[in-house]
Chains A and B, each alone.
Chain A
């Protein structure tokens, strides 16, 4: 261990976590390492920051959205090292998040543009009871605001319920809830989606084939998400269910309500994560007090923490579960830093130093990932999808919203690097997205149309 610590800089990070935990059992160490370990102990605490996301259930069947926030994972003990590595890897993390968000948006936009089903209005969810077909503008506005209030209160109730469940250690209930909701999502919505896509392209498929396909898809998805699986497959599944969820929202939320809800949710996210009395924050603190990982949550992880999980099967700490939504649930996600898991594992294995060293070593390489809640994915995609569906400027507006959301994500990650604690990912991006949507639709579109008709170039 001592040799490990004297290794080059790049390995300093890995050993920091481990050494801090192993120092508890080892004999007194020289002052240099003491200092380091003190810092590391602080680091371990710092790593327990999580971001909680809240999920809401606005679906007529079961719906929950998670809004989460991303959390950086850092391992370095020394402050400036941390800064450097943060920024050095910062760009890579941002890209690691850009890609899935982009993919999700592309899937949603492609579906919206091609499949008619998702732009037809076939009724509303029970969570948005007020219709928007009223003749007057004021009435419509009022209805959308009321819808929003109902939705947000449902979300708040769900979130508080989940916090209570967590506080009183009803883990089985939560697990069951998560599994049920992801089951429903994977099977039912995929079936509907596949049906619609096949209808659009006029491709015939018989029921046995369909059953086989959906069964395989769903089963592999459940395993991948709730248990263990290759990282990329897991990421792909997460993206797909986020896209499905977003499509459902786009279909079932009436126009103005959707925009108002987007705005309200980003405000709620901001408050829930940052206010001291916010439910998300309470959840995070409770988990920190208990020194345990927050229950399996719905997050998108860009780091390969789960591959190490396979080497250590008895970790209670791992248990990623995807649960996007559930009618009656308001799941919160918490992003745990993988280092937390590592520290736990190394605690249990401190008598056997050799094995954790090597496996954690591999882990260290990829641990520096960033996590983003699936609710964020969903809402970003809802924004872009709605822009694609309803804007008359079509692709310009969609593109503008897309760039705005990416820039918002960038800024959020930058703030994350500066503040080093859990942050809500929704507000900045959604604000930018909304601003750009409305301004592009109303201001830029006539300008560009006129330019294009005269074939002028600016």
Chain B
């Protein structure tokens, strides 16, 4: 689905593709830094202590989430500057792409990159021979991973919109809400393999974020009804 989003909404406009790739790049850099921190922490600690390792992992995840949001903020700043440049240089005085579109594309960029990194090795292994969950792990590993990845990609997209909107209108609580949501979702994934604990709340959060982003982007219940009923 995320790829479909990409095809239908982004692939037309070259500027959006650039913003997408740049968003993916920013996510990648944040991942790099967070894994650097984790790596240092692991190397500096005792490799045999299981609980410590688990704790370090949790710490790494949280830190990574915070870094991701920080990079989203940096990306927002960069896009602000870029939009000013575009406005100044465009012929009719208004930018070819609005900040909301940029927010959407940036969110998709983040999401796609994080999804790709989460899934692609899995997919590659899935092509090869093997049995899922042979060592007593859950047999639904691939399915749940796929769903989790999808929900994460969508969430990133919505968070992008919410985040940028919060930055635009200086509503700090929106930004804080995004960060908290992200932390929550990551934290929920700790419940794996108890999938009920992680997938269901994640989807609910996604629905909430979707509705919120939709309202922020100017939609309303009436619009939705009109669209669904194909009225003119």
Q: Tell whether A457 pairs with B118 under 8 Å between CB atoms, given A87-B86, A88-B90, A447-B60.
A: yes
Contact flags A374-405 to B (C-beta < 8 A → 1, else 0) = 00000000000000000001111001100110
A200 to chain B, nearest CB (A): 15
- Asked if B208 lies at the interface with its beta carbon under 8 angstroms from chain A, I say no
Contact (Cβ within 8 A) A92 B14? yes
Contact (Cβ within 8 A) A448 B117? yes
Contact (Cβ within 8 A) B121 A444? no
Max chain B C-beta neighbours (<10 A), residue from A83, A406, A439, A457: A457
Among the listed A87, A95, A98, A455, which residue makes an inter-chain contact with B89, where contact means beta carbons less than 8 Å apart?
Answer: A87
Kindly specify which of B18-26, B161-169, B173-181, B211-219 makes contact with the partner chain.
B18-26
Contact (Cβ within 8 A) B32 A444? yes
Kindly specify which of B72-80, B99-107, B187-195, B223-231 makes contact with the partner chain.
B187-195
- Asked if A91 lies at the interface with its beta carbon under 8 angstroms from chain B, I say yes
Given contact pairs A95-B18, A452-B121, a sample of 11 additional A-B residue pairs in the complex whose CB atoms are under 8 Å apart: A88-B89, A91-B13, A394-B121, A395-B124, A399-B120, A403-B21, A436-B28, A456-B189, A456-B190, A457-B149, A458-B65
When C-beta atoms are compared, the residue in chain B nearest to A453 turns out to be B137
Contact (Cβ within 8 A) A451 B57? yes
The A interface is mostly helix, strand or loop, or mixed, namely helix
Contact (Cβ within 8 A) B189 A455? yes
A92 to B15, CA, bound (A): 7
B-chain residues with CB within 8 Å of residue A91 when the two chains form the complex: 13-15, 17-18
Contact (Cβ within 8 A) A443 B35? yes
A6 to chain B, nearest CB (A): 18
B41 to chain A, nearest CB (A): 11
A-chain residues with CB within 8 Å of residue B35 when the two chains form the complex: 443-444, 446-448
Q: Tell whether A403 pairs with B24 under 8 Å between CB atoms, given A410-B18, A458-B65.
A: yes
Contact flags A54-96 to B (C-beta < 8 A → 1, else 0) = 0000000000000000000000000000011001100110110
Contact (Cβ within 8 A) A395 B120? yes
- Asked if A290 lies at the interface with its beta carbon under 8 angstroms from chain B, I say no
Considering only residues 409-458 of chain A, those with a C-beta below 8 Å from chain B are 410, 436, 439-440, 442-444, 446-448, 450-452, 454-458
Contact (Cβ within 8 A) B192 A456? yes
Query: What are 15 A-B contacts defined by CB distance under 8 Å?
Result: A83-B89, A84-B89, A87-B85, A87-B86, A88-B89, A91-B17, A393-B121, A394-B124, A395-B120, A399-B120, A410-B18, A448-B117, A457-B152, A457-B185, A457-B186
- Asked if A260 lies at the interface with its beta carbon under 8 angstroms from chain B, I say no
B79 to chain A, nearest CB (A): 14
- Asked if B172 lies at the interface with its beta carbon under 8 angstroms from chain A, I say no
When C-beta atoms are compared, the residue in chain A nearest to B67 turns out to be A458
Contact (Cβ within 8 A) A98 B189? no
A440 to B113, CA, bound (A): 14
- Asked if B94 lies at the interface with its beta carbon under 8 angstroms from chain A, I say no
- Asked if B61 lies at the interface with its beta carbon under 8 angstroms from chain A, I say yes
When C-beta atoms are compared, the residue in chain A nearest to B144 turns out to be A455
When C-beta atoms are compared, the residue in chain A nearest to B193 turns out to be A455
Q: Tell whether A452 pairs with B118 under 8 Å between CB atoms, given A84-B91, A94-B18.
A: yes
B-chain residues with CB within 8 Å of residue A406 when the two chains form the complex: 21
Contact (Cβ within 8 A) B21 A458? no
B-chain residues with CB within 8 Å of residue A450 when the two chains form the complex: 57
Among the listed B64, B85, B122, which residue makes an inter-chain contact with A452, where contact means beta carbons less than 8 Å apart?
Answer: B122
- Asked if A271 lies at the interface with its beta carbon under 8 angstroms from chain B, I say no
- Asked if A179 lies at the interface with its beta carbon under 8 angstroms from chain B, I say no
B-chain residues with CB within 8 Å of residue A399 when the two chains form the complex: 116-117, 120
A-chain residues with CB within 8 Å of residue B61 when the two chains form the complex: 451, 456, 458
A403 to B20, CA, bound (A): 10
A356 to B13, CA, bound (A): 33
Contact flags B50-69 to A (C-beta < 8 A → 1, else 0) = 00000001001100110010
Contact (Cβ within 8 A) B32 A443? yes
Contact (Cβ within 8 A) B192 A454? yes
A406 to B23, CA, bound (A): 12
When C-beta atoms are compared, the residue in chain B nearest to A456 turns out to be B189
B-chain residues with CB within 8 Å of residue A442 when the two chains form the complex: 39
A-chain residues with CB within 8 Å of residue B120 when the two chains form the complex: 395-396, 399
- Asked if A407 lies at the interface with its beta carbon under 8 angstroms from chain B, I say yes
Contact (Cβ within 8 A) B25 A403? yes
A-chain residues with CB within 8 Å of residue B5 when the two chains form the complex: none
Among the listed A9, A88, A447, A457, which residue makes an inter-chain contact with B39, where contact means beta carbons less than 8 Å apart?
Answer: A447
B-chain residues with CB within 8 Å of residue A455 when the two chains form the complex: 141, 144-145, 148, 189, 192-193
B-chain residues with CB within 8 Å of residue A396 when the two chains form the complex: 117, 120-121
A457 to B89, CA, bound (A): 41
A458 to B64, CA, bound (A): 7
When C-beta atoms are compared, the residue in chain B nearest to A406 turns out to be B21
Q: Tell whether A456 pairs with B57 under 8 Å between CB atoms, given A395-B120, A407-B21, A410-B22.
A: yes
Among the listed B90, B122, B189, which residue makes an inter-chain contact with A457, where contact means beta carbons less than 8 Å apart?
Answer: B189
Q: Tell whether A410 pairs with B21 under 8 Å between CB atoms, given A443-B35, A452-B121.
A: yes
A379 to B67, CA, bound (A): 32
Max chain B C-beta neighbours (<10 A), residue from A406, A447, A450, A458: A458
A101 to B42, CA, bound (A): 38
B-chain residues with CB within 8 Å of residue A394 when the two chains form the complex: 121, 124
- 6 smallest CB-CB distances across A and B, nearest first, come from A447-B35, A95-B14, A91-B14, A455-B192, A91-B15, A457-B189
A450 to B17, CA, bound (A): 31
A-chain residues with CB within 8 Å of residue B186 when the two chains form the complex: 456-458
